[in-house]
């Protein structure tokens, strides 16, 4: 451990000293509270066990499960050992989960009981995994971690620097395969400071942890709240009425939101008559209608933002009411530019690629030096997103570059190329273009525009089910349109821009399930 370094485990030790008997974590499912001192003790115990199981600096620890205190402890133990946490999106298909695990070769894997059958079916492809463990010791058929030896007083923290890897979070499949973004301890500490400074989070605050802990947005707000000495109130799965009840009972003051989380909570709170006036701060990505309704009914402050997994979640962040419709202004330790294809700065009002630099920028894509070098060209992280600055320095998001076209239903990242590849596996589909369309609930929805092969028939619900059986459910289209006159370019490829202009209206939501 260097003199000038500060890891996530250092933070756990610091807070145990400062706030030893103060509540750090409330597990809503079990109505159980853990103090900052207990967090430190439990992390040391788990780290000792993993150390005796030969987990060393740089080893990956996979985790597949819902939000829990045990999940949070794994991040702490990984930090203490210098290991790298590998959180897996439980919404993915079995094939996608196998790919993410195989890609990063974890030495051990923790899983909730509900995912252990899935893991057992793909074990043949997980050649790096030497041990399978229950995420919760009393739940599941894998090895209980408490059955292993190791005492907290025998644990020896690893020598860790700010620049060492802390976690790998897979991004969406921009080129047909997910990319593992490697984030360092320094990235996490920078984001913590950004969030609790800009959102004014203090030790008296209460964060409602409703977003999944494989997602950087909710996870890093949990980390930053912990850093500030605040209480994390954790939900293992989202339920709007339960969330509204917890806001009233625990005096929740802050949460992170992807549409339609906030609207669902507000509606549920009104229905069951809960006082949610404590909720003073909400940050995230929402529709204007829902933001304004929250501000009117609760009187709190909504913070708009721009960021990616690669920027440790955030690059800009500001109060919504300072520039309604924008994505905020650059964070305290971030530089943000709008550049053309030659990396020349553009003037306010001109649309170009968003480029970012600062201590929150990830270390690179796991085992992908080519894409990493391209992303980091000329000393800046090139996001693949388009934006513009206004005259006052606020960023306005304008979509994705063609090479990285992206759809974001409910805050998730979905690349059209991946969905198109799956749709083309259907024997009736000859050509397809997948686009994002406005949606009143999810803000953006996935729409597939298809041309069928001569003599074949296919309806939208059948195609939607076909896609949902092969990739993560949130990636399947919410609507499908079949065109007999399917626009093409002179080379025979689909004319994406013309199709978008013809079919890019609102989603008709032929599939009412969540994406």
**Last residue of some domain: 404, 419, 434?**
404
369 in the same domain as 419: no
Domain termination residue (choose one: 355, 387, 404): 404
* 473 within a domain of the structure (yes/no): yes
Distance, in Å, from the CA atom of 286 to the CA atom of 257, rounded to the nearest integer, reads: 7
Q: Domain range holding 476? A: 409-503
Model pLDDT for residues 429-478, shown as the tens digit of each residue: 999 999 988 887 777 889 999 999 999 999 999 999 999 998 888 899 99
| CB 101 within 8 Å of CB 126 | yes
The predicted structure's pLDDT at residue 440: 79
CA 324 – CA 302 distance, rounded (Å): 10
Per-residue pLDDT at 510 exceeds 70: no
Greatest mean pLDDT among 135-139, 255-259, 509-513: 255-259
| Backbone angles phi and psi of 17, in degrees to 5 | -75, -45
- 134: CATH: 3.40.50.12780
pLDDT at 511: 34
Compute the average pLDDT of residues 157-179: 87
The CATH code of the domain that includes 375 is 2.30.38.10
- pLDDT of the residue at 449: 95
293-304 pLDDT, tens digit each: 999 999 999 999
Res 418: pLDDT: 85
Report pTM.
Answer: 0.84
Do 423 and 349 have their domain in common? no
Residue 317 lies in a domain: no
Distances (CA, A) of 371 to 103, 150, 364, 384: 15, 41, 9, 12
Q: Are both 339 and 371 inside the same structural domain?
A: yes
Q: What is the largest CA-CA distance in the chain?
A: 72
Do 446 and 480 have their domain in common?
Answer: yes
Q: Give the DSSP per-residue string, 79-138.
A: HHHT-EEEE--TTS-HHHHHHHHHHH--SEEEE-GGGHHHHHHHGGG-TT--EEEESSTT
Contact between residue 448 and residue 431 where contact means Cβ atoms under 8 Å apart? no
Look-up of token digits 């079949």: 482
The last residue of one of the domains, among 385, 404, 423, is: 404
Nearest to 192 by CA among 336, 42, 75, 59: 75
| CA atoms of 334 and 223, how far apart (whole Å) | 19
Cβ atoms of 151 and 48 within 8 Å: the answer is yes
How far from the centroid of its chain's Cα atoms is residue 53's Cα?
29
Percent of the chain with pLDDT over 70: 95
Q: Which pLDDT belongs to residue 151?
A: 67
Query: To the nearest whole number, what is the mean pLDDT of the chain?
Result: 92
Q: Where are the alpha helices (DSSP H) in 305-448?
A: 369-375, 416-423
Quote the pLDDT of residue 143.
Answer: 92
Indicate the range of 41-55, 207-221, 496-510 predicted with least confidence.
496-510
131 and 100: one domain? yes
Query: Looking at the structure, do residues 390 and 460 belong to the same domain, yes or no?
Result: no
At which residue do the structure tokens 């949610």 appear?
A: 276
Distance from C-alpha of 29 to C-alpha of 212, rounded to nearest angstrom: 15
Q: What is the pLDDT of residues 110-163, one digit of tens each?
A: 999 999 999 999 999 999 999 999 999 778 899 998 887 666 677 889 999 999
Report yes or no on 218 lying in a domain.
no
CA distance 132 to 109: 5
CB atoms within 10 A of CB 387: 23
Q: 352 and 483, same structural domain? A: no
Q: Is residue 108 part of a domain?
A: yes
Q: Are 66 and 90 within one domain?
A: yes
Q: Which two three-digit tokens encode residue 191?
A: 């984001």
Domain presence at residue 498: yes
Q: Confidence class of residue 508 from pLDDT cuts 50, 70 and 90?
A: very low
Q: What is the pLDDT of residue 326?
A: 96
Any domain includes 207:
no
Within this chain, do residues 86 and 169 fall inside the same structural domain, yes or no? yes
The yes-or-no verdict on residue 401 having pLDDT over 80 is: no
Residue 1: predicted pLDDT: 56
pLDDT at 402: 62
**pLDDT band with cut points at 50, 70 and 90 for residue 395:** very high
Closest CA relative to residue 338, chosen from 352, 349, 348, 326:
352
Using the 8-state DSSP alphabet, how is residue 414 labeled? Answer: B
Percent of the chain with pLDDT over 90: 77
Identify whether residues 381 and 495 lie together within a single domain. Answer: no
Count the domains in the chain.
Answer: 3
Give me the pLDDT at residue 152, please.
63
Is 300 inside a domain boundary? no
pLDDT of residue 23: 98
Residue 283 contacts residue 305 (beta carbons within 8 Å)? yes
Q: What is the CATH number of the domain that holds 475?
A: 3.30.300.30
Residues 359 and 464 in one domain: no
pLDDT band at 233 (very low <50, low <70, confident <90, very high): very high
The pLDDT, as a whole number, for residue 496 is 86
Asked whether residue 489 falls in the same domain as residue 447, the answer is: yes
Cα(392)–Cα(280) distance, integer angstroms = 26
Closest CA to 421 of 385, 490, 384, 470: 470
| pLDDT per residue as tens digits for the range 354-363 | 999 999 999 9
- Asked if residue 205 is part of any domain, the answer here is no
């Amino acid at each position: 451990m260097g003199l000038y370094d500060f890891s996530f485990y250092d933070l756990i030790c610091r807070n145990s000293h400062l706030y030893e008997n103060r509540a750090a974590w409330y597990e809503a499912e079990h109505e159980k509270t853990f103090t900052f001192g207990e967090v430190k003790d439990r992390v040391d115990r788990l780290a000792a066990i993993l150390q005796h199981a030969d987990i060393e600096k740089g080893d990956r620890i996979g985790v597949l499960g819902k939000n829990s205190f045990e999940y949070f402890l794994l991040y702490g133990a990984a930090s203490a050992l210098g290991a790298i946490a590998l959180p897996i999106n439980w919404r993915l298909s079995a094939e996608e989960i196998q790919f993410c695990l195989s890609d990063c070769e974890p030495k051990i894997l923790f899983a909730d009981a509900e995912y252990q059958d899935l893991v057992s079916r793909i074990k043949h492809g997980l050649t790096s995994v030497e041990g399978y463990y229950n995420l919760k010791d009393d739940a599941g058929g894998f090895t209980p971690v408490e059955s292993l030896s190791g005492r907290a007083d025998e644990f020896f923290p690893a020598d860790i620097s700010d620049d060492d890897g802390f976690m790998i979070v897979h991004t969406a499949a921009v080129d047909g395969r997910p990319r593992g973004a490697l984030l360092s301890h320094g990235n996490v500490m920078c984001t913590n400071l950004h969030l609790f400074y800009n959102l004014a989070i203090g030790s008296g605050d209460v964060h409602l942890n409703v977003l999944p802990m494989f997602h950087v947005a909710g996870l890093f707000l949990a980390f930053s709240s912990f850093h500030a000495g605040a209480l994390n109130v954790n939900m293992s799965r989202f339920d709007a009425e339960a969330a509204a009840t917890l806001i009233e009972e625990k005096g929740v003051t802050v949460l992170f939101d992807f549409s339609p989380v906030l609207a669902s909570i507000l509606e549920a709170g009104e229905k069951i008559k809960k006082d949610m006036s404590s909720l003073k701060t909400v940050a995230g990505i929402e529709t204007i209608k829902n933001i304004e309704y929250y501000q009117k009914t609760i009187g709190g402050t909504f913070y708009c933002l721009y960021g990616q997994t690669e920027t440790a979640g955030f690059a800009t962040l500001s109060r919504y009411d300072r520039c309604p419709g924008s994505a905020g202004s650059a964070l305290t330790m971030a530089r943000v530019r709008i550049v053309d294809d030659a990396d020349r700065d553009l003037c306010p009002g001109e649309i170009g690629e968003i480029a970012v630099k600062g201590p929150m920028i990830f270390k690179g894509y796991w085992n992908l030096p080519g894409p990493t070098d391209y992303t980091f060209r000329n000393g800046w992280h090139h996001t693949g997103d388009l934006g513009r600055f206004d005259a006052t320095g606020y960023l306005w998001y304008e979509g994705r570059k063609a090479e990285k076209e992206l759809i974001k239903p409910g805050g998730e990242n979905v690349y059209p190329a991946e969905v198109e590849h799956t749709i083309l596996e259907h024997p009736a589909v000859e050509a397809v273009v997948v686009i994002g369309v406005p949606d009143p609930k999810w803000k953006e929805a996935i729409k597939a525009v298809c041309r069928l092969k001569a003599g074949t028939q296919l309806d939208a619900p059948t195609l939607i089910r076909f896609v949902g059986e092969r990739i993560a459910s949130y990636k399947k289209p919410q609507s499908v349109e079949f065109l007999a006159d399917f626009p093409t370019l002179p080379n025979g490829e689909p004319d994406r821009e013309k199709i978008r202009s013809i079919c890019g209206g609102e989603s008709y939501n032929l599939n009412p399930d969540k994406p």
